[in-house]
Amino acid sequence: MLHIKCPHCGMRSQNEFSYGGDATVKRPELNKEVTDQEWDNFVYNRVSPRGKHLELWQHLSGCRQWIKVERDTATHEIFKTYKANEEIA
Amino acid sequence: MTQSYRIETGGLINRNKKISFKFNGTSYFGYEGDTLASALLANGVHLVGRSFKYHRPRGFFGAGVDEPYAVVQLYRNGETEPNIKATEQELFEGLEASSVNCWPSVNFDIGAINNFLKIFLPAGFYYKTFMWPKSFWYKIYEPFIRKAAGLGVASTKHDKERYEHKYEYCDLLIAGSGPSGLASAYSAAKNGAKVILAEDKPRYGGSLLTSDVNIGNQSGKDWADGIISELKEMPNVTVKNRSQVFGYYDHNMLVMSEKVSDHLPKTKKYHPNKRLWYIRAKEVLISSGSIERPIVFGNNDTPGVMLSSAAKEYLKVYGVLVGKKPLVFTNNDSGYETAIEFKKHGIEPIVLDSRSNPQSEIIDEAKNLGINIKNSYVVVAAQGYKKVKSADVATISEDKKTLGNIENIVCDCICVSGFWTPTIHLASQSGNKTKFNEEIDAFVPGVSKQNETTLGAANGVFTLEETLKTSFEKGKELSKKITEKDNEISIPNVVEKKYSKHDKFWCVPLPKGKSYKRFLDFQNDVAVSDVEIALREGYRSIEHVKRYTTLGMATDQGKTSNLNGLQLVSEIENKVVPSVGHTTFRPPYTPISIGAIVGREVGKHSKPTRKSPIHNWHEEHNAVFVDAGVWLRPRYYKRGNETLFEASKREAKNVRTNVGVCDVTTLGKIDVKGPDAAEFLNRVYTNAWLKLPVGKARYGVMLREDGIVMDDGTTTRISENHYHMTTTTAQAANVLSHLEYYLQLVWPELNVNVVSTTEQWAGAAIAGPKSRDLLQKLFPKTDVSNEGLPFMGYVEGDLFGVKARIFRISFSGELAYEVNVESDNGRFMWEKIIEIGEEFQIQPYGTEALSTLRIEMGHVAGSELDGRTIPYDNALEGLLSKKKDFIGKRSLQRAAFVAEDRQRIVGVVPLDKKTSIPEGSHLVKDANAPLPNKKLGHISASCWSVEYDNPFSLAILKDGKNMIGEKLFVMSPLKNKVIPVEIVSSHYVDPKGERVRS
């Protein structure tokens, strides 16, 4: 079980969180014309990297905040966690 | 019955307390402090079971967790548990156990015929033989194999025992209370670190319980007792026996199973049977010791052949002789310790040492005691079927390839020692890349991946002096980092005997003309010949050899077999052991009860059942409940001998003609508040929300970004910046997360907050033509006329002193209202509605009637919004705003979603107006078309229309828009039904929706 540092609450066990997918995906702006390809990339297409990955997690059974977690997908090492609106270093 | 193998005095058992127990129906007794194994051996019982594949007789091989054979079926306090190791099960009064893997009895086992057919049962036999004909596998081969194989039998009864989970944090977790565990725990504890010391056995001390050493002028055991009692007094230390740390997981989390009650005849009141500890440790010290390796020889699985360390443990801890004419077969000095213990108790052992001229202190001691030692001698084969009767022995050449003349020595047990294998399972599970240590012919931990350190024998250190020194220092060093304290610890002086070098010899060659089975893996019946076959057939990777032969698998995880298997593979392959590599060690290290893993998550849904505040009333009025997610909802209220069908028809009919009331507390409710709430809803829902006035409700549909409908419900504007959103019962949690996602990550500039209010409100839906009359009586001060409270209107009212919210919304398609009060007033509200509704012939209705009402109105619910449909499919395209963007809108342009013949909701009526249509059935054009018959759609929901008194269903049908009036067939191969049907509009009743506005 992973040990994740919630930037709001501190170190907590994985079972308080739920996984939310790739955090680098950016939703196209509302009312903006987007091509099929751009939209498909947003909705469906994801890379599945081995190694460092920026992920979304929600502290579901805690503060309910969505956070960003920089994690190694192979070793499960967590490098850093960020608040939803925090600048990624 | 006398315990003919128990010595007069000695051992750590309590001879003042006799304990009686039964094994295979025979009564015996032992003493407090015995294990089932030691008590049986004291009674001279060696035959405990039959082997997995060949059904050969099985005895005891070890004395603890390393035991590969002696698994029994245990009976305790009316319960039974399979696959208990007799060597780990402590004796309690009234214990009953029986052998597994044998029929009709352990003494006469029909399956043993496999032993004589063994040439037909080599490695991979099942894979090769039961391949053909294919159809035989399912009906003939598999049931037969399952019956013949397998160990104990799981109980089919509900488990009365309670299991708990516990979460714990500590500075240092120390696994194993041998010398290294004790020393490191002591110095860490003295530095003020929070320490957990875990021991899997009942007694602390590990090897100190059986070794002949001296620490600080005391015996090893006395020193261990002193340290333990000091640790127990310290507030920062938790000492746990009967607790096995069995798994090392990510981020330094370890799991430990504590056997709280297994040693007692009955679990104490308020105690769990087992407790599973999830321990997050800053540092982990692995002091799990080592396990003696067997030497491989002919018939080395015969009962009476066992590890020499086990024989010593039975003698020193339990005062039990495993035999009276022991033969000790060793390639190192450990065997001599066992021989000396025998000799001290007046038994004459014979030692066979594979080495030609070993010299050491302990060998000198054995010689001085007059023990018969034969150098360059090996056991070629054990003789005897259910018990060792003698051993064929021979001299062996220096290169270990040639045997001399076979001699026979009469003996009743063979104690074997092939040196020691460090227990590296936990280190390996943590991700440590283990390395091969040539000195000890075994793998030891290499570079740590997590915060783990392995100490003592588990790290390949076999001298006590070095073990204590490094362990005291390590405990001190690691705790100092955490607590920043640095207490001086004086390391006690140690007196121990020095060992000479062991012999790398591990397998006795077969004598000419003999084909004895030489077992590597005792639990899974894997012999040398099986591994040879696997390699001959081309298996090279050790992982493949493992799976083909089952070497090192199952509950044993290769504790005694791993290294000898590797030695064999490397020898045949002409490689060195490290290049063959070992197989992955997987948790759990030793079997863990499923009950312990499950913990308190038992019963329905493995979760607490949620009940509405009106639940008790429903129960008192004969409600039959149904699961709705984690909630229990009344399905119908049974009157007399009514069936579900009759009751739901009555209830639905009453809604259509009079008035009904339904508990809708379970609906998800979310408060949406803030100056940008309207804008937010406008983006979340597909329809327009900016102009909804205060005091009005609106139906909304929300999509996922892929255009699929996520949920639907009504949202009411309570005040300027306050909306009350409802969701379906099932999606409540997902919708809240979804809203939070957009507010926190996508549109953080919106000033909106959302919070779940599901538990805060109790809800009652009042539906039917007489509902307004009833409402007026409930709220005499409120104007609930069609003008005062129009369709989709909202007012607040006073329900006999209780504040209530009144919504004019309808799921049933009738004139209907929903009243919400604070949860605590739920039952009060309900009883008032029933009481005052009596004059309007009110009846409560359950989910079955609710479904009937919504189906015949063509209102969609979870069975249509099933995660595969878009708004068009549900005839909801009218709710898609063209003027604004919303979540998922762009996806609706996808080609498949705008296809001319896109699926769409329709109504389905059987031509005979009688036959009920099973939900999930397929719609086809031609009932007689060859299979696979092309499916045009499926039945999503079925009911008996109370309006027309005939069956009616909803279906999602390809090109549904153009299919109205078509004649199709409903096919349900599961129910073996073919029903001719007509496709009609999904709005079967009141298609213009006049009733809700009346």
pLDDT tens-digit profile of B796-805?
999 999 999 9
pLDDT at B928: 93
| Structure tokens, B19 | 């304990």
Q: Are B151 and B523 within 8 A, CB to CB?
A: no
Which chain A residues have any C-beta within 8 angstroms of a chain B C-beta? 1-3, 13, 18, 20, 27-28, 30-31, 34, 36, 39, 42-44, 56, 58, 60, 64-66, 75-76, 78, 84-85
pLDDT tens sequence across A5-48: 999 999 999 999 999 999 999 999 999 999 999 999 999 999 99
Chain A residues with CB under 8 Å of B683 CB are: 30
pLDDT value, residue B146: 57
DSSP states of B9-64: S-SSSEEEEEEEEEETTEEEEEEET-BHHHHHHHTT----EE-TTT--EE----SS
Total number of residues shown for chain A = 89
Q: With left for phi above 0 and alpha for psi between -120 and 50, is residue B925 left, alpha or beta?
A: alpha
Extended strands (E) in B418-511: 420-422, 433-437, 442-447, 452-454, 494-495
Choose the closest CB to B683 out of A30, A42, A78.
Answer: A30
Q: CA–CA distance from B308 to each of B11, B330, B332, B339, B390 (Å)?
A: 17, 8, 11, 9, 17
Q: Is the ipTM of this complex over 0.95?
A: yes
Q: Which residues are within 8 A (CB) of B933 and not within 5 positions of it... i.e. 6 or more apart?
A: B922, B924, B926, B927, B971
What is the CB-side half-sphere exposure of residue B906 using CA atoms within 13 A?
A: 27
Mutation pick from B169, B671, B737, B744 vs chain A, by most beta carbons of A within 10 Å, is B744
Which residue, chain included where needed, has tokens 């619910």?
B861
**What distance in Å separates the CA atoms of residue B502 and residue B584, rounded to the nearest whole number?**
27
CB nearest A1 (choices: B249, B431, B748)? B249
Chain A closest-CA separation from residue B516 CA (Å):
46
Tokens of B531: 């591994």
B890/A84 Cβ within 8 A: no
Q: In what order do the strands lie in the sheet with B218-219?
A: B218-219, B214-215, B494-495
Tokens read off for B3? 């315990």
Contact B890 A31 (CB under 8 A): no
User: What is the DSSP-derived secondary structure letter of residue B318?
Assistant: H
Residues B365, B342: contact at Cβ < 8 Å? no
- A64/B167 CB distance under 8 A: no
The reply to whether residue A2 touches residue B280, judged by beta carbons under 8 angstroms, is: no
Across the interface, whether the CB atoms of B250 and A76 are under 8 A apart is answered: yes
> Tell me, what amino acid is at B302?
T
pLDDT at A88: 84
At B557, list the tokens: 């995880």
Distance CA A72, CA B640 (A): 63
pLDDT at B555: 76
| Secondary structure class of A17 (helix, strand, coil) | coil
Size of interface A-B (CB pairs under 8 A): 55
Low-confidence stretches of chain B (pLDDT < 50) are: 1
CA–CA min distance A78, chain B (Å): 9
Q: How far apart are CA A85 and CA A79, in angstroms?
A: 18
Question: CA triplet B436, B438, B442: central angle to 5 degrees?
Answer: 50
Q: What is the pLDDT of residue B367?
A: 97
Cβ neighbours of B252 in A, within 8 Å: 3
Query: What superfamily would CATH give domain A1-22+52-89?
Result: Folate-binding superfamily (3.30.2270.10)
- Can you read off the two tokens belonging to residue B695? 């005091």
Nearest Cα of chain A lies from the Cα of B271 at a distance, in angstroms, of: 26
Q: Which of A12, A18, A30 to mutate to test the interface with B (most CBs of B within 10 A)?
A: A30
State whether B890 and A44 contact (CB < 8 Å): no
Q: Point out the residue among A3, A39, A66 whose CB comes nearest to the CB of B744.
A: A66
Three-class SS of residue B104? Answer: strand
Which residues in chain A have Cβ-Cβ distances shorter than 8 Å to B737? 18, 58, 60
Task: State the nearest Cα–Cα gap between B249 and chain A, in angstroms.
Answer: 6
Q: Chain A residues with CB inside 8 Å of B431's CB?
A: 75
Residue count of chain B, please give it.
998
- B891, closest residue in chain A (CA to CA): A39
CB atoms under 10 Å from CB of B357, counted, come to 8
Q: How many angstroms separate the CA atoms of B381 and B510, rounded?
A: 9
Q: pLDDT value at position B131?
A: 56
Q: What is the pLDDT of residue B884?
A: 96
- Structural domains of chain B sorted by starting position, each given as residue range(s) with its CATH number in brackets: 14-115 (3.10.20.440), 165-290+422-492 (3.50.50.60), 294-418+498-512 (3.50.50.60), 524-557+560-590 (1.10.10), 898-998 (2.40.30.110)
Q: Do A58 and B251 touch (CB under 8 A)?
A: no
**Which residues of chain B make contact with A13, given a CB cutoff of 8 A?**
167, 253, 278, 280
Interface test with A, best of B165, B166, B249, B250 (most A CBs within 10 A): B250
Amino acid letter at B977? Answer: K
Report the pLDDT value the prediction gives residue B71, as an integer from 0 to 100.
87
Contact A66 B251 (CB under 8 A): no
pLDDT in the model for residue B668: 96
B797 is written with which tokens? 């009212």
Strand residue runs (E) in B155-252? 163-175, 195-198, 214-215, 218-219, 237-240, 243-249
Is residue A46 within 8 A of residue A22, CB to CB? The reply is yes
